[in-house]
Amino acid sequence: MSVASSNNNVADPAMIDFYLNGKRRQCADIPPDCSMLELLRGPLGHTGTKEGCASGDCGACTVAIGEPTADGSLNYHTVNACITPAHQAQGAHLVTVEGLSRGDALHPAQAAMVECHASQCGFCTPGIVMSLFVLHETQRTRPAPFTQQRLESALGGNLCRCTGYRPIRDAALQMADQPDTHPTWADDPSLPGAVASLCRDVMGRTEGASPGHYTIPRSLEALRELKRERPEARLVAGATDLWLETTQQLKPLDDLIDVSRVEELNRVEAHPEGWWVGAAVTYSRLAPLLDAEFPAFGRLLHRFASMQIRNRGTLGGNVANASPIGDCPPVLLALDARLLLDGPDGERDMPIDAFFLDYKQTALKANEFIRGIFLPRSEARQLKVWKLSKRREDDISAVLAAFAWRLEDGVMRDVRLAFGGMAAIPLRVPAAEAALEGQKPDEAAFAEAKRALRRELSPMSDVRGSAEYRLVAASNLLERLRLSLDMIPTDNGMEVMLDAYAH
């Protein structure tokens, strides 16, 4: 691997060509499975970014990526550098902790951490500072109150074993009181335009790359052709799960096609019947739609991994990964979502409950990919989503339940009961659904549904919970649904919460 600085406007197509802390950099001969963290700490010599877990859990490796927007500015978001492909820096502005201060004058995020004694061993501090930097930049461009939920969202992906979180929270709240010192590179008004120009210039120049390389197509047609030529190539979107194969299992990833910049896969299209969500749309981009149209699904995202993961992870990737403990597939099953599969042989539309075949096995052919997910519109249907995990934030589910139904003349119709963590695949429970279909939501109907659930499900035992725990938990979640349909209103008309975390 080699690195060069450049001020010219013509880049070698074999290079990763990007800006780092305001300066253009070109890195040649970077292996396909090199992470952004390895690139920074290795050939670039930026060791402020730390490696903690190498799995996207601790946040010590957090960096910020600035990408061009339609209004001519740069939009910054946090990512876990340990599981972000180095090649995804292509055409972007990468900011690390070394790029925040102005000489000896600290950035408000750094100064507030010092003022509030929010660092002890300091290993996690660079990642926390970068999360605070993005929060500060967001506040600068889109001011909003620092609510508890907003702070949790910004810092939920950063773990600290020394100070506890109170001084870190205090630092977040005190950033606005610090001198507004900004990095030297922020003085350059031409930087956003230069990044945008570079992004346009470099994208797609690896479309014709041979196997054993990292390829970034821009169009659906180019992606189809690549899958025709290289059906065994692995697809990369957010890489938040795929990259664990190299960091945790030490498997080589030497033939990769990055779909994150395929235009057709990055659209959210509204139709009278619902919404088509492109497979490369990130959770952060999807959140406003879910909050507005599927609030229970939107609330799940606040317990789905971390901000760093949501900024890169995609709904299409979560489905294609086909994990039995994936958070989104049970919700999509409950919503009767559909998938649009595509490839060189044409496209296929299928219901999502036909997609999952067995553990990590799906209906995708070798040369196919998920193009989009359809979320049906239905104002009459109600949705509840509950996730059980050991930690409230940034954790994997032991059990996830998604229940959808509508009430018609006092009885339940179109009942969908879907679970994750209860079998080799995410699934619905037809016998339990039948026990509730056309019935009043009373104790007798739900008792029969719980008996059917126990007959149908044979969950696994693992470190997150035993089979018996999962059965009891799933049954209790059905009981929670019954109680939620029969809640006693308070004097002000509000529902009584079942527990502190129930939605």
Q: How far apart are CA 20 and CA 95, in angstroms?
A: 6
From 437, 374, 367, select the one nearest 408 (Cα to Cα).
Answer: 437
Percent of the chain with pLDDT over 90: 81
**Greatest mean pLDDT range, 86-95, 206-215, 393-402, 460-469:** 86-95
Q: What is the pLDDT of residues 275-333, one digit of tens each?
A: 999 999 999 999 999 999 999 999 998 888 899 999 999 999 999 999 999 999 999 99
Mean pLDDT of the chain, nearest integer: 91
Q: What is the pLDDT of residues 45-85, one digit of tens each?
A: 999 999 999 999 999 999 999 999 888 899 999 999 999 99
Q: How far apart are CA 43 and CA 64, in angstroms?
A: 19
Q: Which residues, including other chains, have CB under 8 Å from residue 28's CB and lie 6 or more apart?
A: 1, 2, 3, 4, 12, 14, 15
Helices (H) and strands (E) in the chain, counts: 16, 20
Domain residue ranges in the chain: 2-200, 214-376, 389-484
User: 389-484, which class in CATH?
Assistant: alpha beta
Q: Cβ distance 433 to 413 under 8 Å?
A: no
Model pTM score: 0.91
Q: Cβ distance 1 to 32 under 8 Å?
A: no
Helix H or strand E encompassing 414: strand 411-420
Q: Which of 1-5, 43-47, 66-70, 463-467 has the lowest mean pLDDT?
A: 1-5
Sole residue written with tokens 């990526």: 65
| CATH 3.10.20.30 is right for the domain spanning 2-200 | yes
Q: What is the pLDDT of residues 412-448, one digit of tens each?
A: 999 999 999 999 999 999 999 999 999 999 999 999 9
What are the angstrom distances between the C-alpha of 85 and each of 216, 281, 349, 465? 12, 17, 31, 32
pLDDT of residue 346: 95
Question: Is pLDDT of 494 > 80?
Answer: no
Q: How far apart are CA 356 and CA 230, in angstroms?
A: 24
pLDDT of residue 493: 40
User: Which CATH fold topology does 214-376 show?
Assistant: 3.30.465
